[in-house]
Structure 1
């Protein structure tokens, strides 16, 4: 950092983190398309998933090694703890590949936020959670329509069981709004907002600690700076849990929506 920027920090304080910190500049352009860091991270996650589980499955043995055991544990968690519990034993295996894929995809792209030099959770850009939320929307609605037919599925999702009469004039639009239109939006916002807020907090306490320790002239700069730095570390550990939970919740809700779409009763 130059002397001029150091003097500026000392005079005005550290730059305030905000949404602008998520608008990263293009790294390079391809045919007029600006390629940014989040775009590269999303592509990298695909290669990581394929490579990791190819290495886990290739030496498959009756007595699994460490990599095979780790792969089977994650797969079993998604298959039994998410898919079977929420879709049912009869239909869940059809959706395990999809649920397994989105769980790993969201998890890896979340964890980028804590990996040195990468340090950016892809899901803090709303376009990526929106894309997989729309994909989940297509999967569970498609499954429901395939089983019940378009009109049968529409009735299943909008007409509560056991309800009749004028009250349906109020309930049907609300159920349609809740079950058909808003689910991909709530899936998107839950994941995006959590990753966005967590990364913003890390930026805030990291920059605050650096400013207090290196550039501030306040008498309390050292204790305050150390506290800020420790909070950044503590938030990083908390983010590990949150990043896993967000991947789990996104996959869990997708499975629940599939299970509801296939259910015999609303």
Structure 2
């Protein structure tokens, strides 16, 4: 995207991918790194403080914590993994959901204003180093290596000659593409959403301060779109955390299933 000339001698340089490469704050530590640590502190403090004095009639904070737990336990883990096997995986699914949710929400929090998952390394680490090993490990543990590979690579009910074509495709999907696409979904949504917000926010500021007098009124439109898109982005941030947790639980459920 080229520079847009709107002012009397000035140029509008639109935001791009380079705006996501934040410089180190101290000793190589960047803002996204600090936000990841902050998210863990926030999540840990939230559940510890809301559960230290549990009551039969919950306070509003206890109710909020129980609602989040119930959502992760029943609406994600139980539904995707199955009522027989879901319990051991509730902490993992709940942790994934809350961790991604908080780091996504950082993108619209004043002063912070950066969604950590817009850096591909973070969702990729969760996918490749956490989810990927877990669902393959539990599948191999239940079915044995041979049985697990058979379940994953040779779907039931397919004519044997088709396996020559289908098995490589299944291998590519189950062992290579699944963890990559799981990470890319949340990364792409957070990157694109934050970039659009930057365009309207910085564009509005430029129109207000630098544009020709006849165009300054257009800054109101730009700021209005930025506010509207902030609410849209908040919804997308919640949905993407949910999608990541649902797909992670779904992969575990498929790994544990007898056949596919």
The TM-score, its normalising length taken from structure 1, stands at: 0.93
- Pick the aligned partner of 1:216 from 205, 211, 219: 211
Does the alignment pair 1:61 with 2:55? yes
When residues 183 and 10 of structure 1 are mapped into structure 2, their CA distance, relative to the original with a 3 A threshold, is farther
- Pick the aligned partner of 2:165 from 160, 163, 170: 170
Does the alignment pair 1:156 with 2:154? no
For the residues of structure 2 that align with 1:160 and 1:218, how far apart are their CA atoms? 66
**Residue 157 of structure 1 contacts residue 180 of structure 1 at CA under 8 Å; is this kept in 2?**
no
- Pick the aligned partner of 1:97 from 83, 91, 100: 91
Moved over 3 A (4+): none
**Which residue matches 2:3?**
none
- Offset of residue 108 of structure 1: 0.3
- Pick the aligned partner of 2:239 from 211, 222, 245: 245
When residues 236 and 185 of structure 1 are mapped into structure 2, their CA distance, relative to the original with a 3 A threshold, is same
Give SS of 1:99's match: helix
- Pick the aligned partner of 2:12 from 11, 14, 17: 14
For the residues of structure 2 that align with 1:72 and 1:9, how far apart are their CA atoms? 54
Work out the number of aligned pairs and report it: 254
Structure 2 gap segments, 5+ residues each: 1-5
- Offset of residue 10 of structure 1: 5.0
- Offset of residue 218 of structure 1: 5.1
- Offset of residue 197 of structure 1: 0.3
**Residue 10 of structure 2 contacts residue 210 of structure 2 at CA under 8 Å; is this kept in 1?**
no
Query: Where in structure 2 are the equivalents of 1:82-161 lying within 5 Å?
Result: 82-134=76-128, 135-161=130-156
**Which residue matches 1:3?**
none
For the residues of structure 1 that align with 2:247 and 2:38, how far apart are their CA atoms? 25
Query: Please, what is the CA RMSD of the aligned residues?
Result: 1.3
When residues 10 and 149 of structure 1 are mapped into structure 2, their CA distance, relative to the original with a 3 A threshold, is farther
Give SS of 2:230's match: helix
Structure 1 gap segments, 5+ residues each: 1-7
For the residues of structure 2 that align with 1:207 and 1:218, how far apart are their CA atoms? 17
Does the alignment pair 1:24 with 2:22? yes
- Offset of residue 96 of structure 1: 0.4
Give SS of 1:95's match: helix
**Residue 205 of structure 1 contacts residue 229 of structure 1 at CA under 8 Å; is this kept in 2?**
yes
**Which residue matches 1:203?**
198
The TM-score, its normalising length taken from structure 2, stands at: 0.95
**Residue 126 of structure 1 contacts residue 188 of structure 1 at CA under 8 Å; is this kept in 2?**
yes
**Which residue matches 2:174?**
179
Give SS of 2:159's match: coil
- Offset of residue 181 of structure 1: 1.2
